[in-house]
Amino acid sequence: MIKKLVKINLSTGLEARPVAQLVQLASQYECEIHMEAGEKKVNAKSIMGMMTLGLDMGEEIAVSAEGKDEGEAVQCMEKYLSGE
């Protein structure tokens, strides 16, 4: 299992369009991917779950992944959330 804190650097934060793109990226991986903010932990492959986080630019989120391609998945999530 890999877990990493990532600062959100998307100008709109995690609104509908960025969340949809993030879920599409997460769905390309076989491993389980979760995002944690405060007390909430959601499946990164669930658009409804991700929408409940409602995070803005500058906030931090914990990205965790467990499974065969966990390293690649965390790296991809970090790159997307960092605005790269």
pLDDT for position 8? 94
- What is the average pLDDT across 2-31? 93
- CATH code of the domain in which 47 resides: 3.30.1340.10
Distance CA 6, CA 2 (A): 13
Whole-number pLDDT of residue 13: 84
CA-wise closest residue to 23 among 6, 47, 49, 5: 47
Residue 84, pLDDT above cutoff 90: no
Weakest-pLDDT range from 7-11, 40-44, 59-63:
7-11
Domain count, the chain: 1
* pLDDT value at residue 12: 84
CA distance 26 to 76: 8
Q: Which domain range does residue 50 map to?
A: 2-81
Can you tell me the mean pLDDT for 25-42? Answer: 96
| 17-to-54, 71, 79 alpha-carbon distances in Å | 12, 25, 17
Mean pLDDT score of the chain, rounded to an integer?
94
